[in-house]
Every structure is written in structure tokens, then in C-alpha cells.
Amino acid sequence: MAGASFAELGLSPALCTPLGELGYRAPTAIQEAAIPLVLAGKDLLAGAQTGSGKTAAFALPLLQRLSESEAQPGKGNGLRALVLAPTRELAQQLGQAFKTYGRALPRPLKILSVYGGPSINPQMLALRGGADVLVATPGRLLDLVEQNAVVLSRVEALVLDEADKLLNLGFSEELAKVFALLPKRRQSLLFSATFPEAVQVLAENLLHQAERIEVAAEDKPVISQRVFTVDKERKNALLIHLLKNEAWSRVLVFASAKHTCNRLIEKLAKAKIRAAALHSDLSQGARDTALREFKSGKLRILIATDVAARGIDIESLPCVINFELPRSPNDYIHRIGRTGRAGQAGTALALICPEEYAHFAVIEKRMKQRLERESVAGFEVKEAQADR
């Protein structure tokens, strides 16, 4: 897929730089379609699933528009952009994404997330002087409006994220109240995974001459994720078994520590499997050679830490194996995204031992996905530990 770069879509260098650091090499389909339209000030009705890169599709161009104008949130606790999200978790995540994407802007923007649950007072204090971007759940937003902690009459841009979920969770009355407080002249963007009638009615009421975009399913990366449970002391053996029996032309194995990489190389060598390591203790020369051989196909197996693997660009990688889990769910998503690029099928395996079950559940929660646990014949977890 030879799509446009982020810069070619019209984003400023201050917004493109952090994307490179995050390992975003090219815009996703939804980003390619949405960014120029949002930059041009259009209203948008976008069909996009979680995982499509939809957050950046609206956050990046909105940040650019907000940073281009000299306007300030100003007196009276005004807002410039309002993003409505159905859940506290999504509101937190979206606020964090805006901050990450906007971190290199020459004039820092004030970005806040508010949601029900925590006490309202700190949120009221934080909103003094308004905000450039407020991400909110609808109920808490209305509570804040009632307390005069926030004023919606000067909102320049509105985003409804996961509009179908907002309606499913019964927020339609709250939404109607919020819309009544917004100025008529504004940009509105509606993102939804599905388009039942209620979402279509919402879109008709909210949007003005909207562009409609939908991402074709084929454009999404096709990553098949599998999870194998195995006892800790049998992990090496399982890895060797898989590398010997599966026909992957190239495999990137992730370990969490440098010494695990080195130990694995030795174990594999004993099993007559050639592999190279990629971690920060190796000389630049050794790292370059490993990477070059891996890219050219001369080396089949590369065993890397997250730090060393960040930013490396390997096309058509059929398989990624998580030999150990990364601490952060983000790193996991980053790891598995190394395969299944450009529409090619890819496999991401995780080998998890009972000690890692709870942590893997946290990663799944973050991905909003629950994967079936499988075991490989001969490598089943021993009974005593199986239901820990």
C-alpha cells in the first residue's frame, strides 16, 4: 500500500515528529481519509472500529486547527474542542492520546479529561480558565455545566466517539442537552463502529453537509492472535518446538530482558537453531548486522527487547512471538503490530505461564478483546497450576 505520509496529508512537522517516535510509519486508512477533511473544516460521519487508528484520525487534525489559530479558551471557562466518549476508560485514553500527539506543539494546549466517579471538585478547579480540548462523558459534563465550571457556547469543534455505544448506554437525553448548549456554527465529527437507525438520526441532527467515510475491512491489518499456556520451565522447549515445526519464513521473538535474549540464543543454538539478538548492550555493528541479515532473509529468527525493536522497519513479517509479556499493554499492541502489515496476514503468538495470566488479562482488557487459551500437545500446564 503506497499511501500518503502524515506530512502529505497536511500535518505540521510538530505533529508528525511524535508519530515517528511512536512507531507510526504511515497513516491508517481511516487517517488517510479523515485527516484532510477535518483539516479543511468539514463535518464528518465516519465508520471506524477500535484499532483502526480512529483516535489519531480526529485528534491530529483537530490539534493542528487549534494550534493554528490564536484563539484562547478565554474567560468564562470556555472550551474550544469538546470530545464526548461513552466510558471513563475511553475518556482517559482519548485525553492521553491528545496529549501524546500534541506534545511537540510550539504552544502547549490545555487538554483535560473529565468523567463520573472521582470527585467533581478537582475537575472544576482544573477547568478554571477553560480548556483547548475537553474529553468528557456526557453525565459528568452536564454536572460541570450546572456548576458553571464549563461553558459550551464557544465550542469550535465537537467529536462524538463511539456514538453507537453512547446511545446504547442510554445517553441520548444527555446528548440532546449538551447539543442545545453548543453554538450553531461549529465543526462536528461523529465516529461510530455501527450505524443503527438511532445513530443515523443523531447524525442527521448534528452534522451539516457531512462527508461520509467508511474504512473497508480489507485495509485493516489481518493479525491472528493466539495464546498458548505453558509452564515457565517449559517455555524454552515450547519455543524450540514451534520454531522447528512451523513454516514461518521469519520470526521476531520478544523477550523483556537482555539476559533472556542471550540465554535464548544459547538454548536455540543447542537445538541447532540459529538466531541473533537485538538489544541495547550489543555493539551498533552487531545490531546492524543482525537487522540486515533478518531483513534480507538470511537470518530467520531475531530475538529482541522492546527498546531495541522500537522503530525498526521490517516489511512482511509473518510471525511475532511474545516469549515474555511486556509490562505495558501499549508495548504489546506495538509488538503485535509488527506483523500483519499492509494487508498481509500475520500471526502473533503469546506464550504465557501461570505467573503471567493476570497480567495478560490486563492487556486483553486494554485491547477490549478476550483470546482463547490454547495449549500445544505435550506442553500442557500441569494440573496443580492450571486453575491458578
The piece of 24-32, 106-114, 301-309, 368-376 that touches ligand AMP (CB under 6 A) is 24-32
Minimal distance, residue 147 CB to ligand AMP, in Å = 31
Least distance (Å) between residue 87 CB and ligand AMP: 13
Backbone angles phi, psi at 96, to 5 degrees: -65, -40
Nearer to ligand AMP, 55 or 192 (CB): 55
Q: How far apart are the C-alpha atoms of 339 and 290, rounded to whole Å?
A: 18
Q: Count CB neighbours of 2 within 10 A.
A: 5
9, 28, 83, 325: which one binds ligand AMP (CB under 6 A): 28
Strands across the sheet containing 345-352: 275-278, 301-304, 251-254, 319-322, 345-352, 222-229, 373-374
For ligand AMP (CB under 6 A), the number of binding residues is 13
Q: Is 54 in the site for ligand AMP (CB under 6 A)?
A: yes
Question: How far from 185 is each of 109, 135, 154, 161, CA to CA, in Å?
Answer: 22, 20, 9, 20
Site for ligand AMP (CB under 6 A): which residue of 51, 221, 318, 354?
51
Reading the block at residue 303, the C-alpha cell is: 530475538
Site for ligand AMP in 294-333 (CB under 6 A): 333
The rounded distance, in Å, linking the Cα atoms of 305 and 256 is 6
Q: Which of 15, 27, 317, 335 binds ligand AMP (CB under 6 A)?
A: 27
For residue 33, the minimal CB distance to ligand AMP (Å) is 13
Give the residue, chosen from 56, 202, 239, 349, that forms a contact with ligand AMP under the rule CB under 6 A. Answer: 56
11 or 149: CB nearest ligand AMP: 11
Does residue 92 belong to the site contacting ligand AMP (CB under 6 A)? no
- Minimum CB–partner distance for residue 268 and ligand AMP (Å): 30
> Which of the residues 328 through 357 are near ligand AMP (CB under 6 A)?
333, 337
Contact call for residue 86 and ligand AMP (CB under 6 A): no
87 lies in the site for ligand AMP, by CB under 6 A: no
CB of 27 to ligand AMP, least distance (A): 5
Q: How far is the CB of 264 from ligand AMP (least distance, A)?
A: 27
- Strand 319-322 to 301-304 pairing: unpaired
Cα-based torsion angle of the residue sequence 262, 266, 271, 275 in order, rounded to the nearest 10 degrees? 50
- Tell whether residue 189 is a contact of ligand AMP (CB under 6 A): no
Q: Is 55 in the site for ligand AMP (CB under 6 A)?
A: yes
Q: Which of 9, 11, 15, 24 binds ligand AMP (CB under 6 A)?
A: 24
Q: Which of 18, 39, 50, 318 binds ligand AMP (CB under 6 A)?
A: 50
- Choose the stretch contacting ligand AMP; rule: CB under 6 A; options: 47-55, 105-113, 246-254, 318-326: 47-55
| 52 lies in the site for ligand AMP, by CB under 6 A | yes
Minimum distance of ligand AMP from residue 229's CB (angstroms):
25
Residues 9, 11, 53, 135: which binds ligand AMP (CB under 6 A)? 53
Q: Read off the C-alpha cell for 69.
A: 489559530
In the complex, least distance from residue 28 CB atom to ligand AMP, rounded to whole angstroms: 5
Q: Smallest distance from the beta carbon of 91 to ligand AMP, in angstroms?
A: 13
Q: Tell me whether residue 52 or residue 137 sits nearer to ligand AMP (CB atom).
A: 52
Q: What minimum distance in Å lies between the beta carbon of 314 and ligand AMP? A: 14
Binding site for ligand AMP (CB under 6 A): 24, 27-28, 31, 50-56, 333, 337
